[in-house]
């Protein structure tokens, strides 16, 4: 039994949920070795189910991420009258065509998933139906106004006037008005919700992006036969979808999720003597800011066998343990690595010198306030950290002492980031709960253990 800290004092804080929290601690690891695959990309998985439901005919999806967030989206499209089910290794979606979904019999529960909830708001907006949407304690704290505002401009009604968080009752219409919408925040979820609603509107709907965000919606809509134009205008990008679209069921292959692979890559860089290859990872440029940053820090990361699969770039990524040095991560890179800051910050404690991460405002509205949760978790484990507005600076100080308990606030990325750093901290790091890892990466522990890592379930003292 490792020298685990007493987690009892914090483990019940803020877990307004019915699931029993399951604390977990990582043990100091021997070199990690091997070739592995990570589960399918979460963003692409949500979209494949949703566009399959909005298409006519059958969509066949291989590599779909079978994690809670995506399963909740599958349940939602089924409740709306499409049929998404697994047959052998393939998920099949029998769609009902754009505008062809029917009212669900009860509320749609999106659990922990911002992507599922927000993209489905775009779907509901374009149907003449009334839908109650709910989520867990974390999702019910997250801002929905960013999606509701443009969708209301198009014709969506919120039946609880002024309410901007889940639960919400939404009334859509089959007569949406097309709009031109300048994104006030760099959010692929907002962009996607508006483009999805635009499929149902009469005419062209345009989203204007100041900073590029992940473009899976645009790529996949084209794959399903929609007309989507992407035009550079000055510093902006205009993305235009033609309404009253017809989507046709397609085959979709979902590549490995670079945001899940990030934890394996981080572990391989940190644990001395490691050499790990992660096969079939999505390398879309709008998603790989972390890997660029780690290379700048001196990380030995090679992209092998680069290829295209189903309209998305993919590679095998080889990572060898490396000495890292601190860098400044520019604000404009944030959208391409937005979910990776907790793990990067944890790794920065092992780098030589300071790592300054700028432009992190969006981190505050994820499954938790990730800026605070990351800083608090690092401080609890002996790191030197400074939060200054939207910037986070970690000063490498010979690694992490560990021995602290991390409050995860129902946030899978916080849990996985610290379970990764704990492989190389002096004392084990305990996360107060690990159940929510199943929302995005249920195989996390098993894959890490395949490579040689070990975890321990601390017993309450």
CB 360 within 8 A of CB 388: no
Least distance to ligand PEP, CB of residue 461, Å: 31
Q: Is 408 helix (H, G, I), strand (E, B) or coil?
A: coil
Q: Which of 136, 339, 411, 432 is catalytic?
A: 339
Query: Is the backbone of residue 116 left (phi > 0), alpha (psi -120 to 50) or beta?
Result: alpha
Binding site for ligand PEP (CB under 6 A): 69, 112-115, 339, 366-367, 413, 440
Catalytic (active site) residue 14: no
Residue 142 marked as a ligand binder: yes
Residue 227 marked as a ligand binder: no
Residues in a beta bridge with 231:
238
The answer to whether 43 contacts ligand S3P (rule: CB under 6 A) is yes
User: Residue 329: phi, psi to the nearest 5?
Assistant: -100, 115
Binding test (CB under 6 A) with ligand S3P, winner from 84, 125, 245, 338: 338
Q: Which residue is nearest to ligand PEP (CB)?
A: 114
- From residue 187 to residue 206, what is the string marking binding to ligand S3P with x (rule CB under 6 A)? xxx--x--------------
Q: Which of 28, 29, 23, 22 is nearest to 5 (CA)?
A: 23
CA separation for the pair 137, 139 (Å, rounded): 6
Residue 189 marked as a ligand binder: yes
User: Which option in ligand S3P, ligand PEP, none does residue 188 bind, with CB closer than 5 to 8 A by kind?
Assistant: ligand S3P
Take residue 358 and report the two structure tokens written for it.
């700028």
Least distance to ligand PEP, CB of residue 352, Å: 28
Residue 42 marked as a ligand binder: yes
Per CB under 6 A, contacts with ligand S3P among 82-141 are 114-115
Those residues with Cβ within 8 angstroms of residue 232's Cβ, 6 or more apart along the chain or in another chain: none
Q: Which of 202, 197, 238 is nearest to 221 (CA)?
A: 197
Stretch that binds ligand S3P, among 81-89, 185-193, 315-323, 386-394 (CB under 6 A): 185-193
CB 248 within 8 A of CB 56: yes
Residue 94 marked as a ligand binder: no
Residue 89 marked as a ligand binder: no
Query: Is the backbone of residue 140 left (phi > 0), alpha (psi -120 to 50) or beta?
Result: alpha
Those residues with Cβ within 8 angstroms of residue 443's Cβ, 6 or more apart along the chain or in another chain: 38, 39
CB 321 within 8 A of CB 271: yes
The answer to whether 73 contacts ligand S3P (rule: CB under 6 A) is no
User: Which option in ligand S3P, ligand PEP, none does residue 367 bind, with CB closer than 5 to 8 A by kind?
Assistant: ligand PEP
Q: Residues with catalytic annotation?
A: 339
For the annotated binding site for phosphoenolpyruvate, the residues are: 42, 114, 142, 189, 370, 413
Residue numbers of the site for ligand S3P (CB under 6 A)? 43, 114-115, 187-189, 192, 214, 338-339, 362
For the annotated binding site for 3-phosphoshikimate, the residues are: 42-43, 47, 187, 189, 339, 366
């Amino acid at each position: 039994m490792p020298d685990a800290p007493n987690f009892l004092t914090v483990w019940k804080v803020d877990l307004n949920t019915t699931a029993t929290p399951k604390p977990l601690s990582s043990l100091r690891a021997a070199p990690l070795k091997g070739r592995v695959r990570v589960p399918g990309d979460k963003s692409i998985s949500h979209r494949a189910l949703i566009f399959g439901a909005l298409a006519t005919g059958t969509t066949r999806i291989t590599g779909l991420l079978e994690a809670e967030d995506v399963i909740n989206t599958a349940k939602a499209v089924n409740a709306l009258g499409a049929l998404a089910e697994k047959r052998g290794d393939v998920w099949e979606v029998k769609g009902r065509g754009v505008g062809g979904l029917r009212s669900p019999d009860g509320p749609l529960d999106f659990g922990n998933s911002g992507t599922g909830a927000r993209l489905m708001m775009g779907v509901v907006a374009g149907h003449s139906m009334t839908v109650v949407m709910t989520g867990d304690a974390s999702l019910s704290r997250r801002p929905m106004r960013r999606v509701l505002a443009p969708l209301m401009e198009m014709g969506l009604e919120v039946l609880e006037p002024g309410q901007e968080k889940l639960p919400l009752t939404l009334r859509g219409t089959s007569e949406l008005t097309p709009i031109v919408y300048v994104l006030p925040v760099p959010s692929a979820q907002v962009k996607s919700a508006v483009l999805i609603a635009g499929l149902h509107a009469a005419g062209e709907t345009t989203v204007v992006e100041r900073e590029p965000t992940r473009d899976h919606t645009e790529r996949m809509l084209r794959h399903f036969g929609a007309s989507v134009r992407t035009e550079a205008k000055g510093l902006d990008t205009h993305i235009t979808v033609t309404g009253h679209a017809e989507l046709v069921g397609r085959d979709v292959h979902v590549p490995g999720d670079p945001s899940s692979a990030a934890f394996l890559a981080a572990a391989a860089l940190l644990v001395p003597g490691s050499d790990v290859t992660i096969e079939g990872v999505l390398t879309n440029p709008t998603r790989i800011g972390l890997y660029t940053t780690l290379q700048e820090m001196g990380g030995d990361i090679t992209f092998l066998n680069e290829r295209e699969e189903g309209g998305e770039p993919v590679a095998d990524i080889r990572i060898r343990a490396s000495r890292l040095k601190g860098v400044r991560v520019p604000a404009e890179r944030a959208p391409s690595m937005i979910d990776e800051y907790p793990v990067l910050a944890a790794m920065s404690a092992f780098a030589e010198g300071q790592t300054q991460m700028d432009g992190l405002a969006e981190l505050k509205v994820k499954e938790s306030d990730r800026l605070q949760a990351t800083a608090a978790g690092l401080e609890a484990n002996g790191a030197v950290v400074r939060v200054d507005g939207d910037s986070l600076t970690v000063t490498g100080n010979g690694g992490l002492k560990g021995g602290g308990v991390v409050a995860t606030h129902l946030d899978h990325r916080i849990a996985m980031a610290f379970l990764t750093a704990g492989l190389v901290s002096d004392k084990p790091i305990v996360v107060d709960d690990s159940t929510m890892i199943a929302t995005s990466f249920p195989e996390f522990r098993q894959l890490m253990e395949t490579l040689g890592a070990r975890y321990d379930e601390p017993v309450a003292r």
